[in-house]
Amino acid sequence: MGIRRRILLAFLLLFAVVFLATAVASTLLIANAVAHRLAAQTENVALLVDRIERPTLLNYLDRLMELSGAESIRVGELSRGTAGSPLPGERVFRAPTKHGELVIVYTPEVISREK
| 5-52 confidence digits (pLDDT tens) | 999 999 999 999 999 999 999 989 988 898 899 999 999 999 999 998
Residue 53: phi, psi to the nearest 5?
-70, 150
- Domain boundaries, position 19: 3-114
Could you give the number of structural domains in the chain? 1
| 51-98 confidence digits (pLDDT tens) | 988 888 888 888 888 888 888 898 888 777 765 556 555 688 999 999
Distances (CA, A) of 20 to 9, 13, 16, 30: 16, 11, 6, 15
pTM above 0.75, yes or no: no
**How high is the pLDDT of residue 86?**
60
